[in-house]
Structure 1
Amino acid sequence: MIQAIGLTSNPRKELPPAVDNVSFDAHAGRVTMLLGAPGAGKTTALRLMLELQPGRGITYFRGRPLHRIGHPSREVGVLLGEVPGHPARTVRGHIRMLCAAAGVPVRRGDEVLEAVGLVSLRDERLGTLSRGMDRRLGLACALLADPHTLVLDEPAHGLSAGDSRWLHGMLRAYAAQGGTVLSTTADPKEAARTADRVVTLVQGRLVADQPAADFSRTRLRPRVAVRTPHAARLSALLTKEARTARRSVEVAEDGGNRISVYGSTCADVGEIAFRHGIVVHQLADEIGDMGPGAGASSHAGKPVAPDGGTSSAAAPSTAASALAAAPDAGHPGDSADSRPADSAPADFPPAGSPLSGLRAGGEARVSESGSTAGLPPPLSVRPAPRPLRPLRYEIRRATGVGTGFLVGAAVLVVSALTAVLLARIGHTPQPRLLAAWPRELPLPPAALGAGLLGALAFGDEFRHPALAADRGGVPRRLGLLTAKLLVASVSALVLAVLTIGCDAELLYLVYGRELVEIPADRLSLAASWLGLVIGCAWAGVLAAGLFRSAAAGLAAVLAVPLVVVPLMRRLVEGASVETVAGVPLRMREVFLLHWPFGGERYLEGMLRMVAQPVGGAMALSLAVLLCAYLLAFLRNRVR
């Protein structure tokens, strides 16, 4: 079950908090609906419960707050807004990526797709799904880790009648198996039709918490739905007849040829239409809302009483039609009174704590100024612990869309054409010719491509936050960073080798063998080349993860030769490479060891690269970015 206690959002500029001291229970095996007009605070209440935004209050999921649950996705399935995911990713690829994030086998993804009826659309792109199919995929993502609780924000909004019936049937079946379902809606009829319990919010305050049967009896009222081509004339006649008979009848025009009549019957409306010769195409009894003027609008500017009704300052006629005016309406204490005594969690706030003055139904001690005497503890946004299988997740994320393959193909084409053009112009050393790196460019195409791939590794996470579906922010976990650095390194390595191979092959075809001869210091040059490309990829990953943008990651890669290199040149001006060239020999003399397989040559190449301005600048940039990333990670852990 869910126990929300004292949920209060932070105050806004010259405005009351969007959610003010909201408390309620959602029991297992039942569907609980948060009902309220747009702007009533439903979404804010859910975000406070899920610790997605700071505020006050506490929420227990089967006796534990969310931050004490090791794997929240296995306890709570969440659907807030649209399905977060890259629009070019397929449905099956998206689900399998989330399987790795949730730590569940791949077959679980196929099972939930079959359960929501998306097996035939598993190869469709996310960007091409209709609203109904998007809702089905969102429910599949929420069910992926087999959670005990579902938290959904207006899941039926914008759906057709058939899709809405299917969705409500799924939620009812889930609750029947013992799960807890908490959903929001702005439609009173939907709440009465699908929920077991309805919690009503008005302007951020809880005004009623009652079973659905009581809600239908006290908050809704019957009406007669009429469809006629003479709607305006019939409406005027019904109003006139009611005034003559001194009866309380309200007529609301629903637009076009439809009207709703409150306080009358089908027989009376049909008799009046027959007497005046008005053709009626539809005449049916329905359960509607409280009629014109009801709902949140009737509470504007009026205080709300703690028991869910309007205060005595409200006009009697307005109070009679207001959302919370029924004298026998349930109040916030209903849920607390009906809960068994042994249902409270073991770590429920004891007597004497700041929470002891708050009941699970929403009652609180209010001072004369209107503020709560005992405020609940503050809520803070906490990072998500996912993904549980970071390497598998990152591989599926990187290969699930064609962006990386397109970037690699573009790099190979640009690099090969640049190498041919440089060979035609001449005056370019062979190592730079094979790398397609003219002196006028800060970095070769392969290094820029590797930096872009690295920047996209975190950039796509923040642009399409699949990992943030249930907790808000993309995590900066070291396991996720390690997986991204490893995948980026492999991608950069493959790109570097393919670039040299394509350039050499095209130069051989165009100009012959003399331009592709293997240089004598090929090992040190290869180490320098691979170090440069992998370093650019790492810089892109770290900067994009630090600044939450792929553009920032690519800018950090470009800043190395354009900004950091000039500074490094001033620092190392006058120093020669030979000062570090003998380091392997001196290290061998100190440690009395021989490098196997001529390893001193590799080390010499790496040291030579670091001694150069570009290599030194890259190493310095990587060190600074890594330290900044670790500081951000530790700050999130402390918070």
Structure 2
Amino acid sequence: MIQAIGLTGEPRGELPPAVDDLTFEARPGRVTVLHGAAAAGKTTALRLMLQLEYGRGVALFRGRPLHRVPNPARELGFVLGDVPGHPSRTARGHLRMLSAAAGVPADRADDVLDLVGLSGLADQRLGELSRGMDRRLALAAALIGDPHTLLLDEPAEGVSPRERAWLHGLLRGYAAQGGAVLLTSRSAKEAARIADRVVTIEDGRLVADQEAAEFARTRLRPRVVVRSPQADRLASLLVDESQRAHPATDPAVGRAIEVVRESGSRIAVYGSSCAAVGEAAFRHGILVHQLADEVGDTAPVTTLHRADGRRPRPVDELPPAPDISPTTPEPPRDAPAETSLAPPGAASSATPTGTGTGTHSETHTLPLVESPAAAPRPVRTSTPFVERLAIPRLPAPGPAWPLRYELRRTATDRTGLAAVVVSLLVSLVLALLLARHGDAPMSRVLTGWPRQLPFPPAALGAGLLGALAFGQEFRYPALAPEIGTVPRRLGLLVAKLLVSGGCALTLGLGVLAADEVSARFVFGPDSLNSVAEWPVLAAGWIGLLVGCAWAGVLAACVFRSTSMGLAAVLAVPVLVVPLVQRVAAEPAARSLVGLPGRMRVSAPVQWPSGIDHGVSVLLRLATQPVGSAMALSLTALVCAYAFTMRRSRTH
């Protein structure tokens, strides 16, 4: 059950809000269409329901608002535009990443790919998919968590008639299992064909809330389609004869018939019949190439079943439905599951086609899809729809796996891999140049950090890795149902901090090892002297890289941009370090000498004396300008994150 109560968008300057006090509901087991012209407020209404835009009103999903749903991916799936994923990721990799965010097994990705007919294209990259394949993959992403509710924004826009027919059949089958389907459409024909109920809005306000049959009677009219090389002449003759036959009709008010020109040789005649139009054309010697009375779906369309070219298996070859144990109950559906893919009743199947606006009409006529197979085959009406397509049902919703999600996101990110490679190569070149001159300290040779650079290349690479962690979430919003709550998700933030910190640590160790091995190989084993106080170097190096990665993560989370995350990292050596150096240049009246010993004496539990050396190392690093600047920057970013979290909760 979807309930939208009083949805109202933000005012747009002097213009009224795109959605104004919109209230409707979409019941389970039925397909509800939010119908309206372009810019009527359909997409804004969905975004308000998903908390992707600020506004007023309440949207309830089975009685709960979205922010009170513990795992939204297991409750609702949605499609807003194209697939919100990085173009370089494969279809399977993208869905496996989403399966971790939803808390479902990774093999669920293969199940939904097979459901939408893309299993043969699982390794194709998102940027290479056609429009129809993209819509299929978007639907697979929406179904990854076996949700109860689907919200789709113009799901059939821009696809072929066969893809549209396939999509309608899939949505009918989904609703037949008790799921609630809410989609938007600007086509009255499509709304009447697929919907059980049509909610019409105009300028963001509710105009009508009707059953599909009533909507078809009030919005659609039968028509006669004529294709002729003399279409304009025939249209004029039909209008003249109608006026002569009905002289009392005021032309300013309306005519007995209405003729709409759809193309150069095609017209649509409302208020007449094939016989009357044909007789008029015969009397005046007008050649007619096509004469069709469109009162329903007349031109059968061959259904497209699998975009990967594979033939679907017959029903008898499908594996048996899984036995769902009572110990792991499935979320209850609110409607019975024993039904077929055919739409209920004649509200859609016998709906007349055409539009009543008198301005434009679609040229395609599509049949209702009774089965997703190319050839007729038996349908087991007592078997649930998803089991008929051999996709196992999931148990009750469980916790998401943010750490697994972030690991999959990082492993499939080519930009991050390129940043690591570039950082290693630049550090290696700089280390060889420093080792060649022989006057640079060994610490700078091993880290590839000349004195002329405010930060080493590896630190910038680590900062870019951190900035990408959250920056891509907003540029390619794979977690779009929760994009409004992403900054509030502490588990996701912790996962990104851990993974980015681990990547930065790995990058730092790789830079140290590569620089040392390369310098000794090129200039001989005696070219590098032993490094004094290597614990200080190792701790400082690790802290610098991990701090840069965390600064990139927090800044990208706060400012929702990869470039702003990287800018925050660059601001540390450019702005914060000079400020800290200026403050540190002033003489201090007190000293920190002996602080580790005093801490050990005053502690309730006496720690070993060897820990004093570690505390001294940390104090030395913290008092360095770079260390102090990094600590100050991280503190400021954490405060900004907390402010963003509080502000998001108040809206």
TM tier, smaller? 0.7 to 0.9
Cα deviation for residue 638 of structure 1 reads 4.5
> What is the rounded CA distance, in whole Å, between the counterparts of 1:32 and 1:496 in structure 2?
54
Per-residue deviation at 1:58?
A: 2.6
Name which of 508, 512, 516 aligns with 2:520.
508
Question: In structure 1, the residue corresponding to 2:33 is in which secondary structure?
Answer: strand
Unaligned 5+ residue runs, structure 1?
Answer: 296-384
Which runs of structure 2 are paired with 1:518-597 in the superposition (5 Å)?
518-573=530-585, 580=592, 582-588=594-600, 593=606, 595=608
> Structure 1 CA distance, aligned partners of 2:542 and 2:200?
62
Matched, 1:396 2:408: yes
CA distance in 2, matches of 1:32, 1:582: 73
Change (3 A) 1:620 1:187: same
Which residue of the other structure, out of 283, 289, 292, is the alignment partner of 1:284? Answer: 292
CA distance in 2, matches of 1:59, 1:455: 33
- Whether the aligned pair in 2 keeps the contact of 1:2 and 1:61 (CA below 8 Å) is yes
Counterparts of 2:132 and 2:100 in 1: how far apart (Å)? 26
1:263 aligns with 2:271: yes
AA of the residue aligned to 2:195: A
Name the structure 2 match of 1:454.
466
- Quick one: distance in 1 between partners of 2:520 and 2:126? 44
Provide TM-score, normalisation by structure 2: 0.80
Q: Secondary structure at the match of 1:184?
A: strand
Q: CA deviation at 1:20?
A: 2.8
Distance 1:67 1:433, change over 3 A: closer
Query: Where does residue 275 of structure 1 map in the other structure?
Result: 283
Instruction: State the AA in 2 paired with 1:556.
Output: A
**1:637 aligned residue:** 649
1:607 matched residue in structure 2: 619
Q: 1:581 to 1:163 in 2, by over 3 A?
A: farther
Query: 2:500 corresponds to which residue?
Result: 488
1:276 Cα offset (Å): 2.6
Query: How far is 1:606 from its partner?
Result: 2.4
Match of 1:248 in 2: 256
- Which range is displaced more, 8-17 or 618-627? 8-17
- Equivalent residue for 2:420, pick from 400, 404, 408: 408
Partner-residue secondary structure (3-state), 1:12 = coil
Q: Distance in 2 between matches of 1:292 and 1:517?
A: 87
* Matches of 1:124 and 1:637, distance apart in 2: 39
Which residue of the partner structure matches residue 373 of structure 1?
none
- 8 Å CA contact 1:30–1:181 kept in 2: the answer is yes
1:97 and 1:151, CA in 2 relative to 1: closer, same or farther beyond 3 A? Answer: same
Match of 2:91 in 1: 91
Does the 8 Å CA contact 2:258/2:269 hold for their aligned counterparts? yes
Partner of 1:205: 205
Among all aligned residue pairs of Structure 1 and Structure 2, give the percentage whose two residues are the same amino acid: 59
Question: Would the alpha carbon gap of residues 584 and 24 (structure 1) be closer, same or farther in structure 2, given more than 3 Å must change?
Answer: closer
Secondary structure, counterpart of 1:210 in structure 2: strand
Paired with 2:3 and 2:457, the residues of 1 have a C-alpha distance of 56
Deviation at residue 586 of structure 1 after TM alignment = 4.7
| Residue correspondences, number | 548
Deviation at 1:494, TM superposition (A): 0.7
Displacement after TM superposition at 1:395 (Å): 0.7
| Counterpart for residue 250 of structure 2 | none
What letter is aligned with 1:101?
A: A
Q: Deviations over 1:475-513 (max 9, x none)?
A: 332222211111111111111111011111111122112
Contact 1:31 1:181 in 2 (8 A): yes
Residues 434/42 of structure 1: CA separation in 2 closer, same or farther (3 Å cut): same
CA deviation profile, 1:22-72 (whole Å, cap 9, x unmatched): 322322211111111111122222223333333333333333333333323
Residues 9 and 443 from structure 1, CA distance in 2 versus in 1: closer, same or farther, beyond 3 angstroms? closer
The 1:589/1:17 distance shift into structure 2, 3 A limit, reads closer
1:15, distance to aligned residue in structure 2 (A): 2.7
The CA distance in 2 between the partners of 1:94 and 1:65, in whole Å, is 27
Deviations 1:545-566 (A, max 9, x none): 1222222222222221221112
CA RMSD of aligned residues (A): 2.4
Question: Secondary structure at the residue paired with 2:568?
Answer: helix
Partner of 2:44: 44
Q: Which residue of 2 aligns with 1:517?
A: 529
What's the TM-score, normalizing by structure 1? 0.81
Contact 2:100/2:400 (<8 A) preserved: yes
Q: Residue 88 of structure 1: SS of its match in structure 2?
A: coil
Which residue number in structure 1 is paired with residue 140 of structure 2? 140
Is the Cα–Cα contact under 8 Å of residues 79 and 470 in structure 1 kept in the other structure? no
1:294: Cα distance to partner? 9.1
2:72 equivalent in structure 1: 72
Question: For residue 379 of structure 1, what is the aligned residue in structure 2?
Answer: none
Secondary structure of the structure 1 residue equivalent to 2:267: strand
State the one-letter code of the partner of 1:595. P
Q: Partners of 1:26 and 1:590 in 2: how far apart? A: 66
Ranges in structure 2 where 5+ consecutive residues have no aligned partner: 247-254, 295-352, 362-396
User: 1:575 and 1:477, CA in 2 relative to 1: closer, same or farther beyond 3 A?
Assistant: farther
- 1:626 matches 2:638: yes
Of 263-272 and 4-13, deviating more is 4-13
Cα pair 1:223 1:288 within 8 Å, conserved = yes
C-alpha spacing 1:48/1:564, structure 2 compared with 1 (3 Å): closer
Q: Which amino acid aligns with 2:240?
A: K
Question: Residues of 2 paired with 1:20 and 1:38: CA distance?
Answer: 16
> Matches of 2:124 and 2:61 in 1, distance apart?
35
